[in-house]
Amino acid sequence: MNYNGLLERLPVEIKWFVGSFVLVLSIGFYTGLLFVNQTSTSSPSGIVENYLGNESDEEAGVMKFKKSEYEMLTIIHTHILSMSFIFFLLGILVWLTRLPKKVKLFLTIEPFLSVILTFGGIYLLWSGMDLMKFVRVFSGILMTITFMFSSLLILYQFVKPINSKQ
């Protein structure tokens, strides 16, 4: 079965359906990033403060306490499950685009590694591994770039199909 470029050959109604899904999914993903920015968890020090608290900082504008193990497991569980589903569905669509297989492989496997590093890193940070704050920032940025590139690629191939053969 030749699935390379299948996305651009779909009937227009299915393209509208898939395009609407990717657009709404993107709005949800980027809204999540706005939330991360609001909670100051986009910087290494903000990540530490968000999960380990800031009780020792008397100058803190907002008092934060170390999250309980229950809270941590809930955060990690829900994020790993939901992000895996998001990247699975997006990955199916990436495999239907017209791109070299190695690019598709990177765009569809990397997000799963980033999900594990990002949310596993949060747990390890909470457990006392301070260096995981940098791993979490790097993997979160890479996951976001991969999401952005994949979703834009899918939407682009709806609007202007790539006519080159692989």
Q: What is the pLDDT of residues 123-159, one digit of tens each?
A: 999 999 999 999 999 999 999 999 999 999 999 988 7
Q: What is the pLDDT of residue 161?
A: 55
Q: What is the average pLDDT value for the chain, to the nearest integer? A: 90
Round to whole Å and give the CA distance between 123 and 67. 10
What proportion of the chain, given as a percentage, has pLDDT over 70?
Answer: 94
How far are the Cα atoms of 20, 72, 77, 105, 161 from residue 102, in angstroms, in the given order? 27, 35, 30, 5, 20
Q: What is the pLDDT of residue 95?
A: 97
**pLDDT of 163 above 60:** no
pLDDT digit string (tens) for 84-137? 999 999 999 999 999 999 999 999 999 999 999 999 999 999 999 999 999 999
The pLDDT confidence band at residue 2, using thresholds 50, 70 and 90, is confident
Largest CA distance in the chain: 63
- CB neighbourhood size of 159 (10 A): 9
Q: Can you give the pTM of this predicted structure?
A: 0.87
Supply 5's token pair: 């470029």
CA 94 to chain centre: 15
**pLDDT of 166 above 50:** no
CB-based burial label for 15 (10 Å; 0-12, 13-18, 19+) = middle
